[in-house]
Amino acid sequence: MPRYNPAVVEPKWQAYWAEHRTFAAPRMPTGEKLYVLDMFPYPSGDGLHVGHPEGYTATDIVCRFARMRGRSVLHPMGWDAFGLPAEQHAKRTGTPPRITTEKNIANFRRQLQMLGFSYDWDRELATTDPDYFRWTQWIFLLLFDTWYDAEARRGRPLAELPIPADIKAAGPDAIDRYRDDHRLAYQIEAPVNWCPELGTVLANEEVIGGVSERGGYPVVRIPLRQWMLRITAYADRLEDDLKEVDWPEGVKALQRNWIGRSTGAEVDFYVGHPVAGIGTVAGVTDPGPASLRPATAGATAPPLTSGLSPLASPSGATAGLPSSASPSPGATGSASASSGSSLSNFADWKAAREKSPFPRKPADDVLRIYTTRPDTLFGATYMVIAPEHPAVARLTSPEQKSAVDDYCDRAARKSDLDRTDLAKTKTGVFTGAYAVNPVNAERIPIWIADYVLMGYGTGAIMAVPAHDERDFEFAQQFGIPIISVVQPPVAGGVAVAGVIDPGPAHPVAGVIDPGDIQTRPASLRPATESSSPPLASDLLPLASPLSPLACFSGLGTAVNSGPYNGLDTATFKERITADLAAAGVGRQAVNYKLRDWLFSRQHFWGEPFPILHELDSSGQPTGRLRALEPADLPLDLPAMTEFKSHGRPEPPLEQAPADWLCPTLGGVRYKRETNTMPQWAGSCWYYLRFIDPKNATAAIDPQLEAAWMPVDLYIGGAEHAVLHLLYSRFWHKVLFDRGVVTTSEPFRKLVNQGMILGEMEYTGYQRADETWLSAAEVREDAAGQTVGAAQEVVTVVKLAPDVVQKQGDAFVLSANPAIKVDSRAYKMSKSRGNVVNPDTVVAEYGADSLRLYEMFMGPLEATKPWSMTGVNGVRGFLDRVWRLFINDRIDERNELSPAIDDSPPTPDQLRVLHRTIKEVTHDIESLGFNTAIAKMMEFVNYFTKLTTRPRACLEPFVLLLAPFAPHLSEELWQALGHKDTLAYEPWPKWDDAAIRETSIEVPVQISGKVRSKITVPADASKEQLEAAARADAKVSELLAGQTVTKVIVVPKRLVNFVLK
């Protein structure tokens, strides 16, 4: 008998589709278009993972469904084929990366075709095709030729960049430099994450916790010439336009967070004028050693800064800021007799600033900081600059030079690993310099610490330990005073215990809302690397750094803030920002966590940059760049035979043959750029090329672009929530600004498929003597060993499901219920040995079963464990479908089951059919594939029981099933006597009239509990329903003698009698 045999049916239809180019999309859409895209895979040597077909099946169902509904569907597939693994394979075996890549692509293509996805294979592309990366390089040139006009909020051609007069006057070289400074693609010499093991530099996001994301190798920071893309210019648009797209809120939140926009103020702190030659600051560095104690390392006495005075008399100034004419009387830095000059300088400076606007770039006499809490300016007790800050040398006093040099050296050498994992305690060093707080003329010490990052804001901060956790920790560590300037809100109308009187006294934040506060015994004050600010032992600290303190970083009411006292945080911020601006010492500022995109890699297997470096007669680079002409693209990789890493950060292409590496153009010798582009480059725009993959004269035809864009549905893994999606949005916006594309966003709707875990596992734990211990006692020790309560090493034992049972909310050994075991599913991994290979599944169950199971497991976006018996279950369903149609008593050919006839369907049968059509249709539209399949199962269960099955019901069912199990459906469609593929058959329509039931069963509740059920006409009115309910024997019995206070009747739903 012919049983359902996918091994025969599936290849047959795959061949048919390929031969007939069934799924080739039209060049231009006819009618309504639908562009459905999968995140294309990196074709690894391991082949497809069962995680891949999850999203691919979902999009395939949507596409097949849409075709049957008459839409023009674009559904392409390609390969993100540049990448490190092929290059590492080349290093090991000498096989050129292109060979490895092609082999892997062939395998991936075979696997995808084996699953019957309806891709338009005519549009297949790989990022490694010269015909493709020609245009990747072209887009790079476009970025290179674009500057961002912040006022117009868009990228414009470099030719339109206005050149300031002074630059113009300085000559052509200055103009070139000015232009280079404004390109979206630019070069910098920057510390990068060099990974010796991988032989490459990694982007920040490729370094996780100080080791490489791939492989987990250590990473160190070294300076290197790099290409950067100015994505930060687009930060606000990338954030704003998230409003336009239909994406999961979680992904949008991740992107917003990554962009990390914050609003605050930049404020200049006066530091005085540099003294020629020495690099210290005359104005504010404590001058004479006479007033200093030697800054001995490990000093245990609380190091005090000078001049922190109570703010009892916050100057008579009526404006918020002390006027330059009358500096705050308490602010004269009384600790050091010689500091008067700094204040008079400060006064001059302030006076000058009041007359001129806030300078665009800070001069050397100030330290510019960025803060989101300008309302805490009065609480600033020190400053911190990053070790890489350009002002470090300038601010360091001779006494501190060796300590500072030492600290900065170490910071520079520190890998990210050192900065994260090991940096449990704050470190820092005093520069010897002081800055003057513009709001109260206080002199505060300037420190260097690596908790301030050069890459954010201005690389310098004012530290407000009372209201910032990090500053608080640092201040605790180094004994720096802590001044409270924000009173936490009172809880429930009553001041919380511990708040100090905000009167003239001070300061120390006492307390308060446990949520926002962190207390810390002052006793933990390790003597850390530092040299302390000079001591002024005759001064009493206002806030003893030794007393237990608290840090409050929330919003509240201003105290100790002169004229601003009593303001709430928000109002204060607004007002002081305006006041600072008026005084010429500050301005409102916006900052982003987002950094410019490090765009070069030291790989061979990536897109070469279409850039030439001009060489002088001695072969040295002149610093002038020359971009290749678009007509000269693609620039292909050179033929190379040697891929071995030379272990230096320079790229492998440095070893390229000379004729590639050093071309001569127009008599000038050049050296090619030897960095290559990162893997993200190719995936940044592939969705555009799919629309016009063979175009030899443009990246994409504008007409086609306008017709097909945007991508209507984009499905892929959540791991791309930030990088890939942010990078492609960035490129897309540049292409939009430059008129290449017509939409501001590339992907209208985005869905992340969930992760597929391995099979559920039960795990028990045994001691060396084979006695069991409970899972609750087991943990991992510092070395990653699994140990028991007594530190003994235990063995992990995989248990069969039949030796465990559920007890309460945990699983225990059936043989010994006192022993709890772990039960969970783990991420698939080679090391755990729980990887499921699609080839195996297809061989055993067929592609349709695999597809169906992937969809039936649960909601698309959920994380779910694999289950082979589950696959077997859906295979059982497909077997039943087969037998519903095919007479399995005949061997030779597919003959319809004798139960199928042309009899007119009964109303019941029609109801089942139409309900199924309606529900399956709705479920596909909402991507609820698991429930769609359940509805089809119900259909099959119903019709299997019938001995006569009207063809009029079964034929539409085949069409419903087709998007899910296309091979089987085509086979059945053919057996039903159709000649052509069903791929373009009209999707069945349902008739609500056929679904409508004449009578329905409605529950009757008494005080909310179901007590009976009544059968009533489907369209029964409220009154009829209530009457029918009262008439019910059981209900009337229960209602007898009771007082009904309320009757709720919901037509078609229920009747509820509420008793007293």
Partner RNA sequence: GCCGGAGUGGCGGAAUGGCAGACGCGCUGGAUUCAAAAUCCAGUCCUGGCAACAGGGUGUGGGUUCAAGUCCCACCUCCGGUACCA
Restricted to residues 316-375, the positions that interact with RNA (CB under 7 A) are: 370-373
Q: Per-residue x/- mask for RNA, residues 660 to 689, rule CB under 7 A?
A: ------------------------------
Identify which of residues 185 and 884 has a Cβ nearer to RNA in the complex.
884
Residue from 865, 950, 966, 988 binding RNA (CB under 7 A):
865
Residue 623 phi, psi dihedral angles, 5° rounding: 95, -10
Does 870 bind RNA (CB under 7 A)? Our answer is yes
Within 10 A of 266 (CB to CB), how many other CB atoms are there?
24
| Residues, the chain | 1060
Helix count and strand count (H, E) for the chain: 30, 44
Q: Return the ∠ at Cα 518 (arms to 514 and 523), rounded to 5°.
A: 135
Q: Does 232 bind RNA (CB under 7 A)?
A: no
Among 695, 744, 1007, 1024, binds RNA (CB under 7 A): 1007
For residue 710, cis peptide bond before it (omega within 30 degrees of 0): yes
Q: Which region among 154-162, 348-356, 468-476, 983-991 touches RNA (by CB under 7 A)?
A: 468-476
Question: Interface residues for RNA in 801-820 (CB under 7 A)?
Answer: 806
Residue 915 lies near RNA (rule: CB under 7 A): no
Determine the 3-state secondary structure of 166 from DSSP.
helix
Nearer to RNA, 646 or 1009 (CB): 1009
| Given 695, 834, 1005, 1024, the residue binding RNA (CB under 7 A) | 1005
Whose Cβ is closer to RNA: residue 474's or residue 670's? 474
Crossing angle of helices 951-961 and 929-944, rounded to 10°: 160
Residue range at the interface with RNA (CB under 7 A); choices 64-72, 727-735, 929-937, 960-968: 929-937
Residue closest to 515 by CA, chosen among 493, 488, 497, 494: 488
Task: Kindly list the distances between the CA atom of residue 406 and the CA atoms of 151, 409, 426, 461, in Å, as whole numbers in the listed order.
Answer: 43, 5, 16, 21
Stretch that binds RNA, among 193-201, 356-364, 398-406, 930-938 (CB under 7 A): 930-938
Amino acid making up residue 392: V
Is the Cβ of residue 174 or residue 581 nearer to RNA in the bound state? 581
| Residue carrying the six token digits 């099955």 | 949
Smallest separation (angstroms) from RNA to the CB of 1058 = 4
Among residues 78, 23, 170, 57, the alpha carbon closest in space to that of 860 is found at 57
Radius of gyration (C-alpha) of the chain in whole angstroms: 36
Cβ(598)–Cβ(221) under 8 Å? no
Q: Which of 431, 441, 439 is nearest to 340 (CA)?
A: 441
Number of residues that bind RNA (CB under 7 A): 86
Stretch that binds RNA, among 166-174, 179-187, 310-318, 1008-1016 (CB under 7 A): 1008-1016
Please choose, out of 277-285, 634-642, 828-836, 856-864, the segment that lies near RNA by the rule CB under 7 A.
856-864
Looking at beta carbons only, is 214 or 419 nearer to RNA? Answer: 419
Straight-line distance from the first to the last Cα atom of the chain, in angstroms, rounded to the nearest whole number: 67
Instruction: Collect all residues with Cβ–Cβ distance below 8 Å to 906 and sequence separation of at least 6.
Output: none
Q: Does 209 bind RNA (CB under 7 A)?
A: yes
Tell me which amino acid residue 1029 is.
A
Q: What residues have CB less than 8 Å from 457, skipping those under 6 apart?
A: 266, 369, 370, 591
Residue 793 DSSP label: B
User: Is 423 among the residues that bind RNA (CB under 7 A)?
Assistant: yes
**With DSSP H G I counted as helix, E B as strand and the rest as coil, what are the percentages for the chain, rounded to 5?**
35, 20, 45
Contact 545, 444 (CB under 8 A): no
Question: What DSSP designation does 860 have?
Answer: T
Candidate residues 103, 520, 669, 1011; the one interacting with RNA per rule CB under 7 A? 1011
User: How many CB atoms are located within 10 Å of the residue 228 CB?
Assistant: 19
Q: Which stretch binds RNA (CB under 7 A): 16-24, 335-343, 439-447, 935-943?
A: 935-943
By the rule CB under 7 A, 167 interacts with RNA: no
Q: How far is the CB of 552 from RNA (least distance, A)?
A: 14
988 belongs to the binding site for RNA (CB under 7 A)? no
Q: Which is nearer to RNA, 133 or 234 (CB)?
A: 234
The nearer residue to RNA, 440 or 1012, going by C-beta atoms, is 1012
Stretch that binds RNA, among 302-310, 331-339, 663-671, 863-871 (CB under 7 A): 863-871
- By the 10 Å C-beta count (0-12 exposed, 13-18 middle, 19+ buried), 521 is classed as exposed
Alpha-helical runs (H) found in 927-965? 929-944, 951-961
| 470 counts as binding RNA under rule CB under 7 A | yes
CB of 944 to RNA, least distance (A): 6
Residue 529: what are its φ and ψ, rounded to 5°? -60, 120
Nearer to RNA, 330 or 678 (CB): 678
Q: Is 253 in the site for RNA (CB under 7 A)?
A: yes
DSSP 274: B
Question: Is 461 a residue that touches RNA (CB under 7 A)?
Answer: yes
Interface with RNA, residue 834, by CB under 7 A:
no
* 394 is a contact residue toward RNA (CB under 7 A): no
Interface with RNA includes 489 (CB under 7 A)? no
Closer by beta carbon to RNA, 153 or else 824: 824
Q: How far apart are CA 187 and CA 942, in angstroms?
A: 68
Task: Specify whether the CB–CB gap between 247 and 720 falls below 8 A.
Answer: no
> Residues 6 or more apart from 352 whose CB is under 8 A from it?
none
Report CA 772 to chain centroid distance, whole Å: 42
Q: How far is the CB of 868 from RNA (least distance, A)?
A: 9
Report the C-alpha gap between 152 and 142 in whole angstroms: 18
Give the footprint of RNA on residues 402-421 (CB under 7 A).
419-420
899-932 in b/e burial notation, b at 16+ Cβ within 10 A?
A: bbeeeebeeebbbbbbbbbbbbbebbeebbbbeb
Q: Site residues for RNA, window 734-793 (CB under 7 A)? A: 760
Closest CB to RNA among 197 and 861?
A: 861
Q: Could you tell me the maximum CA-CA distance found in the chain, to the nearest angstrom?
A: 113
Sites for RNA among residues 579-608 (CB under 7 A): 591, 593
Q: Which helix (H) or strand (E) is 623 found in, with range?
A: strand 621-627
Residue pointed to by tokens 């004050």: 525
Of these, 65, 186, 736, 856, which contacts RNA (CB under 7 A)? 856
- Contact call for residue 1050 and RNA (CB under 7 A): yes
- Select 841 or 874, whichever has its Cβ closest to RNA: 874
The one among 254, 278, 661, 662 contacting RNA by CB under 7 A: 254
Considering only residues 4 to 23 of the shown chain, the ones binding RNA according to CB under 7 A are none
Q: Can residue 267 be called a binding residue for RNA (CB under 7 A)?
A: no
Question: Which token pair is 776?
Answer: 């609750």
Residue 930 makes contact with RNA by CB under 7 A: yes
CB of 340 to RNA, least distance (A): 30
CB of 802 to RNA, least distance (A): 8
The Cα 652–Cα 644 span in angstroms is: 8
Name which position in 286, 468, 596, 607 contacts RNA (CB under 7 A): 468
Q: Residue 730 corresponds to which tokens in the numbers above?
A: 């960035």
Is 949 a residue that touches RNA (CB under 7 A)? no
Choose the binding region for RNA from 286-294, 668-676, 734-742, 1051-1059 (rule: CB under 7 A). Answer: 1051-1059
Of the pair 738, 883, the CB lying nearest RNA is at 883
The region of 74-82, 185-193, 791-799, 928-936 touching RNA under the rule CB under 7 A is 928-936
Here the tokens at position 821 are: 């075991």
- Minimum distance from residue 276 beta carbon to RNA (Å): 30
Stretch that binds RNA, among 78-86, 358-366, 397-405, 937-945 (CB under 7 A): 937-945
Binding mask 27-56 for RNA (x = CB under 7 A): ------------------------------
Binding of RNA by 426 (CB under 7 A): yes
